[in-house]
Amino acid sequence: MKPPRHIAIIMDGNGRWAKERGLPRIKGHEKGAESLRAVVEGCAEVGVEFLTVYAFSTENWSRPKAEVSALMKLLELFIERETPELIEKGIRLQAIGRLTDLPESCQRALHKAIEATSGGTRLTLVLALSYSGRTEITDAVKSIVRDVQAGRIDSAMIDPELISRHLYTRVYPDPDLLIRTSGEMRLSNFLLWQLSYTEIVVTQKLWPDFGKDELREAIAEFHGRDRRFGAV
């Protein structure tokens, strides 16, 4: 049975994982980075083509400055540390969101890794960074308005397909499966347009406790769904 072509994940619960153990929140994020490494490997092993993870939302900028700074340093370290292995395993790194909001050192590390891994064909890992679903749709609308004003398109041409072509994710297929950890039952402003017909699996596991076994369980649950896309 074929795996989902595209899996999206809301990686939730790092802070709670750390709090339950009396640890600083950043320790939960560090453990969460280990889970991401395992899940990326798991997706590549079972034949998933695209994996998009909600790494940092626009709302996350409102967290305490010390935590945001630590997260940015962790992101930069993760990118630099994992790039050689991504190249070795044929995994291409991509990113979506307001990337210019990131510190310049993170932007440099990210662009360097994207270029270095561009030849990967086994799996595409997409990091959603400084990302907001509503902002993405707003940016798409602004782009379409500019095209209409410039005469490149007629307003009568606007349809769902055209809107999709103006989103950050225009070069990727919509996710087949969304996994959310920590038991929360909300989308948290993630891929609001793209998740229209995505199957959703919510697990009580906190993200640092999520690994290859849990990934396989989520895929097995996906295979048990009857996807009708609005039809009977």
Q: Which residues are catalytic?
A: 12, 60
Note the pLDDT of residue 1: 86
Domains in the chain, number:
1
What per-residue confidence (pLDDT) applies to 196? 96
Looking at the domain assignment, is residue 230 inside a domain? no
Q: Whole-structure pTM over 0.85, yes or no?
A: yes
- Output the pLDDT for position 97: 98
Quick: pLDDT tens for 118-176: 999 999 999 999 999 999 999 999 999 999 999 999 999 999 999 999 999 999 999 99
pLDDT of amino acid 226: 82
Domain limits for position 22: 6-223
pLDDT on residue 181: 98
In a domain, 231, yes or no: no
What is the structure's pLDDT at 151?
96
The b-or-e profile of 148-173 (16+ CB within 10 A means b, else e) is: eeeeeeeeeebeeeebeebbbbeebe
Residue 229 lies in a domain: no
* Contact call for residues 182 and 19 (beta carbons, < 8 A): no
Q: How far apart are the first and last CA of the chain?
A: 23
Is residue 35 included in any domain, yes or no?
Answer: yes
Query: Measured between alpha carbons, how far is 210 from 181 in angstroms, rounded to an integer?
Result: 8
Residue 197 lies in a domain: yes
Block means of pLDDT (10 residues each) for the chain, 232 residues, are 96 97 96 98 98 97 95 96 97 98 97 98 98 98 97 95 98 98 97 97 98 98 84 58
Domain harbouring 112, CATH code: 3.40.1180.10
pLDDT at 231: 63
Sheet strands (E) in the chain = 6-10, 50-57, 91-96, 123-131, 177-180, 199-202
